Chains A and B, each alone.
With several copies, the nearest count.
Chain A
Amino acid sequence: MMDNKMIVEGSLQREDGGFSFLGRLPYYRGLGLSMIEDIIVSVDGEAIPREAIRFCVRGRTYTLDKMETVYDNRWNFGEKARIIALNGGLPAGNHAITFAVRMRVSYLPFVPTTKDTKQLAMAA
């Protein structure tokens, strides 16, 4: 659910050493960060390594490995987190961004992954 609302339109921007966009959790509630098993980003078909991804909410930034033991912060329902990819940067123009989240949901016997792909424009 909310699959097609994961990537926030018009949110692509430059970052030091890479780019970022706003992402939302595809779920009807939020989750403690320790239950985010993975965040997968690719741009124009090219996957960003897991180590090059950062997750930022309310001014706090985490590596994905770090997030796995964060028990005092959450990704809230509908909350726009900034997803940072340290890939060296992205040229101006349109880019196909794919964003997937794998989450550990206590009541599910499996670990679902949900994905969204959108064309986002990087300003010149």
Chain B
Amino acid sequence: MIASLQPTRSNETMEQTEVAVSSAILRGVSLYSYQNETFQGKMSLEDCIRTSAALGAKGIEIIGEQTFWGWPECGVAQEDVDNWHRLIAKYDCTPVSHDFMLDYKRYKGREMPFDEQVASVKNDIDFGARLGMKFIRALVSIDPAVLVAAADYAQEKGIKILIEVHAPLHFDHPWIIRHAEAFEKSGSDALGFLPDMGMFLFKFPPVWKEKFMRIGVPKAIADYIEKAYEDRVLSEYVILNVAQMGGTGPAIAMAETLRHNAAFEPKRMLDYMPRIHNIHGKFYQMDEDYVEPSIPYDEIVRVLKQGNYQGYICSEYEGNRWIEDAQEPDSVEQVRRQQVMLARLLGESVEPSLNTTVAA
């Protein structure tokens, strides 16, 4: 078995490494975070980049086809790419990742052929390179053989392809291990992982609970599920108990979300550090006291430091979809709070703040 699949190095070894190499975890934002505003045209690309930069989050990640209209079917004009570089330079930012979506179900009733899938990935590699990205993000549903077939091309273009490891998957899930084995067998350094911190959910997110109650889950059942999650009860028990409590549709759906977190140990990233190059700082809710109540960022940052992680943590606000039925999300304020939390955890001396208004 190959090096990065071995059990983790000891703490002792880790600490020695930390002394030898200076650790520098960087802050960034995935513009996914501002989707509620950009969807409605309330924030422009420049607003997104300026806001992130003002918070000291200089790494910019995008979902290519969210930020650039036309991609991939209609292509993107060079002037739009030029504008991107102009904005990145203006705000002293760094392009981090183009998150792509391989639409292998493009043709109704038949899956896209293998070679066309590889060509599609190469197209996204080209686009990532045009944008000056270091990484392109792949979804985990993609056949690892497709990524392996595109790895040399990525290497030539200076791009790494990163599989997003996202709940309900985790680093011990057989499907992820299959990817890891394929990556090791390929011998390529152009293949890696992008863990989404949502997989380390250690409490039931309050915004999930409130949404489930709005769509009809009785409070007693919602309280029970929240408590059962905290007590780490096996999901199958919780689902059956909820049914016995008289829970129907939305209550069962709420209980079934527990199936999505079968493992939540941040330390499991340590085995894979050599292939982890970017991190999604997923969050559902940042409270006024700069705490994400359901994702253990203190422990996450501790583990990343231990593993000598040198890349970005990009804010990825996903509370929007859980609250939008009841209130307009304030994505910028949510991102600001997470950036304050991250800066503190990273030991930065200056607190991030917004000195300019969001819309220019």
The interface of chain A, by Cβ under 8 A from chain B, is 1-5, 24, 28-32, 34-35, 37, 68, 71-74, 76-79, 104-107, 109-110
Contacts and interface: CB of A to CB of B under 8 A. Distances in A.
B32 interface: yes
Contact of A106 (B103, B320, B324): B103
A68 B109 CA distance: 11
Contact of A74 (B73, B240, B325): B73
B38 A106 contact: no
Nearest to A105: B105
Interface of B: 32, 35-36, 38-41, 63, 65-66, 69-70, 72-74, 101-108, 139, 141, 236-237, 240-241, 244, 320-321, 324-325
Contacts of B69: 30, 74, 76-77, 79
9 contacts: A5-B39, A5-B324, A28-B32, A28-B63, A29-B63, A29-B101, A31-B103, A106-B102, A106-B104
Contacts of B39: 2, 5, 24, 28, 77-78
A107 B63 CA distance: 15
Given A4-B324, A74-B73, A106 B105 contact: yes
User: For the complex, would chain B's binding face be called helix, strand, loop or mixed by DSSP majority?
Assistant: loop
Contacts of B108: 34, 37, 68, 104
Contacts of B324: 1-5
Nearest to B75: A72
Contact of A77 (B65, B104, B141, B320): B65
Given A2-B324, A106-B104, 4 more contacts: A28-B35, A29-B66, A78-B40, A109-B241
A1 B106 contact: no
A106 B120 CA distance: 14
Given A74-B70, A107-B101, A110-B240, A29 B65 contact: yes
Contacts of B325: 3-4
Given A4-B325, A72-B74, A107 B141 contact: yes
A45 B107 CA distance: 32
Contacts of B40: 5, 78
A30 B38 CA distance: 13
Contact of A109 (B63, B104, B236): B236
A24 to B, nearest CB: 7
10 closest A-B pairs by CB = A1-B321, A109-B240, A78-B39, A107-B141, A76-B69, A106-B105, A109-B237, A77-B66, A32-B73, A74-B73
Contacts of B65: 29-30, 74, 76-77
A34 B106 contact: yes
Contacts of A29: 63, 65-66, 101
A8 to B, nearest CB: 10
Contacts of A34: 106-108
B105 A104 contact: yes
A35 B106 contact: yes
Contacts of A37: 108
